[in-house]
Structure 1
Amino acid sequence: MNKRLQFATAVLASALMLGLSGTAYANPTPNPSETPTPTPVASAAICSAKSVIRQSALGKFYGYVVDVNSGKVLLDVRGSEATPSASVLKVVSAAAAMLTLPSDYRATTKVLTVPDQPGVIVLQGGGDHTLSRMTGESYTTYTGAPRLETLAYQVFTRWAEAYGISKIILDPNFFAGPTYNSAWKASDRTNGYISHITALQVDSDRANPDLTSKAYSGYRSTDPVLRTGQFFKEALGGLAEDAKITKGRTPKNAVEFTSVSSQPISVWLKHAIAVSDNTETEFIIRHAAKAAGLPASFSAIEPLVKQKLTSVGVDTTGLVMKDGSGLAQANRLTPKMVTEILALVAKDHPNLAAMDEYLPIAGRTGTLAGRFTGKNAVARNFVRGKSGYIPGLYSLAGTITAKDGSNLAYAIFARSGDGKKVGYSARAALDSVATRFFTCGANLGL
């Protein structure tokens, strides 16, 4: 039994034994040391989802639900039709990365010297968006991120030459291709949704990433590589006071001088899924593409994902990936495909099981912390899901430990189309759909 099922079973059993009303599920107090088996409440009767999926707030609705244990399809509404995805696409990108990279994979930023060029060093990016320019007690959204000041200190203390550093070459060539997607708006960058995807940058290129600062700013620049070089020169202090900064490739005879490494990719994945970090997801999928022998570029994302998902039996028909984060309007996937991935997660697939711990929990964590309120609070703690939004589409996909003890995987989408439009109310409407799935469990039907 996986951890999610153990926890949810304990909460559900406690509520059933105490005879609590539906709203009491909002704040359960399970005993972690006890995992009793819930009393079955299922019956042979169909528990209809017809009314809840017909809410006008859902616009053109897409949905697919399976009983993980039996494999039975419980609901299929346009399940094999391709739809825009929004951030639910992060589940797809994360799955491909988890099927490609070991959980302890790390990105490394290096400083190299050039033997025949005294005073010249190379700052070589290894694709670490979390590398931070923070100092002292300041911190960013990335837990345990390596610091630029650490790298500079290591250079300063190991520098044995009588001369200082005269030139800093910035090498961002670990990644390939365009750094900004033509499918993204310029405002996505200035609004702080995404940075240029460069293999050398600090703090995902936020203008002020310091979470201890009232002047925090998520604005992203047009040249994160050069900004990183400038911050590095400042960190080196007098050792590089007159150094020239330039972009280029690492000379073939360069020798590694020092380095810092990121947290494991598993930490990135958990954070990216929990808070829907667009830049982080783009970095993750690029590392996966490079590890698979493909270019670390936008063009490699879709081929990589199709290859990896097909290898575990997921039907990728209709999949279109212009990016890895779901920001592009032209992305397409089917609810069936996403549900098949999540069913593997719920079945404790050796490479994918950890995703269950990454998914936000309704009413508790991540992007679902403030959701599932009112009548939907009954499903808090029992529904996990990755939410998504782009203009004209709201989405939610994840796993559910249902009231009858069954284990469900689901993907639901509310889309503008066929003369219908969706707005902010679609979020609560999707929550009510997921709540019905929780209530009905294995008896869900239309």
Structure 2
Amino acid sequence: MSQSSLGQFYAYVVDVNTGRVLLDIRGNEATPSASVLKVLSVAAGLTYLPATYTATTRVFTVPSQPGTIVLKGGGDHTLSQMTKGSYTTYSKPARLETLANKVLTSWNSDQPISKIILDSSFFKGASYNPHWLASDRTNGYISHITALQVDSDRANGDQTSYAYSGYRSTDPVLKTGTLFKAALKGLAPGAKLVKGATPKDAVELTSVTSQPITTWMAHATGISDNTETEFIARHAAKAFGLPAAFTSVEPMVKTMLSSLGIDSSQLVMKDASGLAQANRVTPKMITELMQKVAQGNSALTPLESYLPVAGLGPGSMGGRFTGANAVARKFVKGKTGFIPGLYSLAGVINAKDGSRLAYSIFARSAGGKKVGWATRGALDTVATRFYSCGAGLYL
């Protein structure tokens, strides 16, 4: 625990079955979270959304405006521009081509489409978080969070292409509209693209539906998909009764934690994904949530199955726990996290002695100490010690 690569170290570990605190190092002190924050957002999704919940992208006609249609986003980041033979990082997405073909089949008018209204009003507030860097978008870490976009707005999300690019644009809505217009082929050759609200007299023509929300949750947790987590949180906030906006995430999660008897007074969630440096959690808060998850028999139970497993791919723990730490492979489950100046790991351990541990550990550049690339391996070593010591770890 005293390795210099751990920087300023935070840890909180409990025996899942007994609730006994086995380790408490700055457990009640607030720290930036990195992507460990995603367990809170996904837990809120599990709490407030049914497992069968899906997002629907719709097309409307407008009787009062012949030749006008509306493309209305329902908050499906996985909606894909890929055609047959290509695939994205998202399993079995709804396809823009399918939606366009449905329009082509259903269009009964001799008049071509002259106007396409692009409605992304399902989400509210800012689309890009002021706590994110502009480079987070251009480096491919996050997109604008808009209710209408394709392939999480990747410039080229085709996993089969050597030209794959995670770069995200400044206007996912207009980009989607442009692709949709092209997919309509000769039906909308000169159509004008206009951002706006769906007219009151609009009539639904056709639609496509996403995968179940649980598919998103498993994927977002497994590979730490920032955009996907933001979408999950917005849908959960809407179901909770708040606007689907960044500002709704913290109050929603605090309510969830309070209902579980977990102190959330120090929680700060500027986003849902953990990308913002201003986010704050305590190790105790995260561990107590993971304890609830590991105890089973609740809406939160599936979250344990979403956690990446040490040494197993394709999740974010696949290449970790090597060398002496390999003994803990398959037994340590954890959500990983990294932002400049902080590394984190939290989850559940099936320990060597048969006990089950809920844990969270954070290593931070603070107090005159620094973290770096070696910190990730140092956290693995700490988690391996938890595995080896089991319920005998307590201090």
| Structure 2: gaps spanning 5 or more residues | none
- The match for 1:331 among 255, 259, 279 is 279
Please tell me whether residue 208 in structure 1 is matched to residue 156 in structure 2.
yes
Please tell me whether residue 379 in structure 1 is matched to residue 379 in structure 2.
no
Give the drift of 1:422. 0.2
The equivalent residue for 2:359 is 410
3-state SS of 1:188 partner: helix
- The match for 2:86 among 126, 138, 147 is 138
Please tell me whether residue 161 in structure 1 is matched to residue 161 in structure 2.
no
> What are the equivalent positions in structure 2 for 1:212-227 lying under 5 Å apart?
212-227=160-175
Question: Following superposition, which runs of at least 4 residues in structure 1 exceed 2 angstroms of deviation?
Answer: none
Please tell me whether residue 73 in structure 1 is matched to residue 21 in structure 2.
yes
Aligned counterparts of 1:95 and 1:321: Cα–Cα separation in 2: 14
The equivalent residue for 1:305 is 253
Q: Does the 8 A contact of 2:351 with 2:357 survive in 1? A: yes
The equivalent residue for 2:95 is 147
Cα deviation, 1:168-218, whole Å, max 9, x if unaligned, reads 000000000000000000000000000000000000000000000000000
Aligned counterparts of 2:34 and 2:203: Cα–Cα separation in 1: 43
- Aligned AA (1:124): K
- Aligned AA (1:376): N
Aligned counterparts of 2:110 and 2:40: Cα–Cα separation in 1: 53
Aligned counterparts of 1:179 and 1:349: Cα–Cα separation in 2: 36
Please tell me whether residue 436 in structure 1 is matched to residue 389 in structure 2.
no
Give the drift of 1:293. 1.0
3-state SS of 1:146 partner: coil
Aligned counterparts of 1:347 and 1:431: Cα–Cα separation in 2: 24
Task: State TM-score, norm by structure 2.
Answer: 0.99
- The match for 1:119 among 38, 53, 67 is 67
| Count, aligned residues | 394
Please tell me whether residue 250 in structure 1 is matched to residue 201 in structure 2.
no
The equivalent residue for 1:296 is 244
Identical-residue share of aligned pairs (%):
68
Task: State TM-score, norm by structure 1.
Answer: 0.88
3-state SS of 1:111 partner: strand
Q: Does the 8 A contact of 2:307 with 2:334 survive in 1? A: yes
Cα deviation, 1:316-375, whole Å, max 9, x if unaligned, reads 121000000000000000000000111011001420000111000000030000000000
Aligned counterparts of 2:322 and 2:297: Cα–Cα separation in 1: 32
The equivalent residue for 2:269 is 321
The equivalent residue for 2:394 is 445
| Structure 1: gaps spanning 5 or more residues | 1-52
Cα deviation, 1:65-100, whole Å, max 9, x if unaligned, reads 000001100000000100000000000111111111
Give the drift of 1:445. 2.6
Aligned counterparts of 2:301 and 2:263: Cα–Cα separation in 1: 19
Cα deviation, 1:206-257, whole Å, max 9, x if unaligned, reads 0000000000000000000000000000000000111111100000111111
- The match for 1:193 among 141, 148, 161 is 141
Q: CA RMSD in A?
A: 0.6
Cα deviation, 1:111-150, whole Å, max 9, x if unaligned, reads 0011111110000000000000001200000001000000
3-state SS of 2:198 partner: coil
- Aligned AA (2:34): A
Aligned counterparts of 1:313 and 1:150: Cα–Cα separation in 2: 46
3-state SS of 2:155 partner: strand
Aligned counterparts of 2:167 and 2:295: Cα–Cα separation in 1: 40
Give the drift of 1:164. 1.0
Please tell me whether residue 423 in structure 1 is matched to residue 368 in structure 2.
no
Aligned counterparts of 2:10 and 2:201: Cα–Cα separation in 1: 56
3-state SS of 2:336 partner: strand
